[in-house]
Chain A
Amino acid sequence: MSKIIKTENLVYSYQAPEGELPIRVLDGVDIEIESGTFVAVLGHNGSGKSTFAKHLNGILLPEGGTVYIEGMNTQDEKLILEIRRRIGMVFQNPDNQIVSNIVEEDVAFAPENLGYPSDDIRIRVDEALKVVGMYEYRDHAPHLLSGGQKQRIAIAGVLAMAPACVVFDEPTAMLDPKGRADVVNIIHKMRDMGTTVVLITHHMDETIDADRLVVMADGKVIMDGTPAEVFCHVEELRETRLDVPETVDILYELNKEGYDLDLKALSVEECAQEIYNHFN
């Protein structure tokens, strides 16, 4: 499998106010992401997740180290559009990602910027709106839609570029449960269509279906593996101010009481099965 994303010893600090030392936010991140995988990223507030995400499409450029997208260096100015076309970004606040007063005009924004012919744009826009289930709303005004619907429009706006990979930076943080479920469904759908997904989130339950889970703390990758492997390290995770899914928590607490359960049961069904098997 080919590597779509590859970072080598990525280092970054934000400019600090006069007289203070710059804060090192990324401190040597080495990561390789295979094409077509669903990677979730966890980390406490301020661990550098958003900063890392912004390096993946050249919004921020590394202070040290390099970022390669399909072999292209993000520091090469001539390649920046190529890179941004391949790596779509969805951010937390849907309101601040929508540029137009009409849904379909907004979705058309990226392909328009890429200079595609108008009938081609039309096809891409209709298709993207159908994937997120907002085709019926194509001539609505975005500000009249719900938060979840707006976020789906923002996702469609990225999908219209037909990116190889989409990076989501806490896409559900501002949504109600219904909106959240819709967005999570779309993420699963995209993975099934073969798009690489990088999902940054604070919701543990959104990560359990991922192929891979990366945990960041203080600008470093501290754990990397399948969700089941990572969530076994309950103690370590708690030390970095992170929690584990409720299912793992139940099994963990039971184990503390002297049982011997397998922590790898992540979904509610698996967890129930594990407990059931054990007590039979």
Chain B
Amino acid sequence: MLKDITMGQFFPGDSLVHRLDPRTKLIMVILYIAALFTAKSYVSYLVMAAFLIISVRISTIKFKMLFKGLKPLIIVIAFTAILNLFFTTGEHVIFEVWRIKLTWEGVRTAAFMLVRLVMLIMGTFLLTYTTSPISLTDGLERLLNPLKKIKVPVHELAMMMSIAMRFIPTLVEETDKIMSAQKARGADFETGSIFQRAKALLPVMVPLFISAFRRADELAIAMESRCYHGGEGRTRMNVLRMEKRDWITLLVGVLVLALVIVLNILGL
């Protein structure tokens, strides 16, 4: 059960998308989101959809996997769509019951919002599916490096993120073990009211936290023993390097955004 929440899933591969520098991919996602939120017309949505589909095809990631990723977010997406459906003001009323009005404008906005969210999530998932957590944090650290000048602890944040990702599987495994141990003693996590179930989880959380603190303590000592002293003077074995393909990809990203803006101006 717990094994299903593998955050930041990564499917190793050797496609162009996999081989791009993580910084390129991060910037592409930003450009892509910006374009999605600029897009207003059917034509621009078509452009965005084409861009997404082509990217996914190049990445060799199966659409099925991307849709699977959507599942846990269905409620959020549906909620947003319904909100847009009934709370958009407009003239072309389809029907009106009591004070709830359904308008053509509402349907349009809701549909756009739905498509926009689905595409947004699929785009970001394409990033996490094709980029290993470690190169993702590396890329993030390098991208945010200029912020060090204004005293943002970029290195520390990146280190925290990568350690968190390193320990998620370990802690998930441990939670499973503790839960089995408690079940063997008659604990019941599946029945009862939400309140009762939450209460049953307490004997799981306490040992988990105690062990997590002990781990943190030991890890800190092990890191110091291996000469860790912050980001200063630290080098990397695998240095990120922007290749020609990265610059070309970024150019494509900028062009797509520009195209969407032009389409907006032309009113298409």
Genuine A/B complex: yes
Give A contacts to B, CB under 8 Å: 54, 57, 59, 81, 84-85, 88-89, 91, 93, 95-102, 104-105, 108-118, 121-122, 125, 141-143, 154, 157-158, 161
State the main secondary structure of chain A at its contact with B: helix
Instruction: Let me know if B228 and A113 touch, CB within 8 A.
Output: yes
Known: A57-B225, A85-B227, A91-B221. 12 other contacts (CB 8 A): A95-B170, A96-B215, A99-B162, A99-B166, A101-B165, A108-B236, A110-B226, A110-B227, A113-B226, A122-B237, A141-B169, A157-B226
B198 close to A (CB within 8 Å) = no
Q: Which of the residues B165, B170, B224, B227 comes within 8 Å of A114, measured between beta carbons? A: B227
When chains A and B are docked, how far (Å) is the Cα of A57 from the Cα of B229?
Answer: 14
Residues of chain A lying within 8 A (CB to CB) of residue B191: none
Residues of chain B lying within 8 A (CB to CB) of residue A116: 235
Q: Mark B213-224, 1 if CB is under 8 A from A, else 0.
A: 011001101111
When chains A and B are docked, how far (Å) is the Cα of A109 from the Cα of B222?
Answer: 11
Residues of chain A lying within 8 A (CB to CB) of residue B132: 101-102
Tell me the smallest distance from the CB of A19 to a CB of chain B, in Å.
24
When chains A and B are docked, how far (Å) is the Cα of A143 from the Cα of B169?
Answer: 7
Tell me the smallest distance from the CB of A45 to a CB of chain B, in Å.
17
Instruction: Let me know if A121 and B215 touch, CB within 8 A.
Output: no
**CB within 8 Å for A97 and B233 given contacts A84-B227, A102-B132, A161-B227:** no
Residues of chain A lying within 8 A (CB to CB) of residue B238: 105, 118
How many B residues have CB within 8 A of the partner chain? 30
Residues of chain B lying within 8 A (CB to CB) of residue A100: 134, 162, 166
When chains A and B are docked, how far (Å) is the Cα of A113 from the Cα of B235?
Answer: 7
Instruction: Let me know if A96 and B166 touch, CB within 8 A.
Output: no
Residues of chain A lying within 8 A (CB to CB) of residue B68: none
Residues of chain B lying within 8 A (CB to CB) of residue A88: 225-226
- Chain A residue, CB-CB nearest to B219: A96
Q: CB within 8 Å of A: which of B146-164?
A: 162-163
- Chain B residue, CB-CB nearest to A87: B225
Residues of chain B lying within 8 A (CB to CB) of residue A99: 162-163, 166, 219, 222-223
Q: CB within 8 Å of A: which of B124-147?
A: 132-134
B239 close to A (CB within 8 Å) = yes
When chains A and B are docked, how far (Å) is the Cα of A104 from the Cα of B226?
Answer: 15
Tell me the smallest distance from the CB of B251 to a CB of chain A, in Å.
28
**CB within 8 Å for A54 and B221 given contacts A96-B215, A112-B237:** yes
Residues of chain A lying within 8 A (CB to CB) of residue B227: 81, 84-85, 110, 113-114, 161
Instruction: Let me know if A113 and B166 touch, CB within 8 A.
Output: no
B64 close to A (CB within 8 Å) = no
Instruction: Let me know if A113 and B229 touch, CB within 8 A.
Output: yes
Instruction: Let me know if A121 and B235 touch, CB within 8 A.
Output: yes
Can you report 28 A-B residue pairs in the complex whose CB atoms are below 8 A from each other?
A91-B218, A93-B215, A93-B218, A95-B170, A95-B215, A96-B218, A96-B222, A101-B133, A102-B134, A108-B236, A108-B237, A109-B223, A109-B228, A110-B226, A112-B235, A113-B228, A115-B234, A115-B235, A116-B235, A118-B235, A118-B237, A118-B238, A118-B239, A121-B235, A122-B237, A143-B169, A157-B226, A161-B227
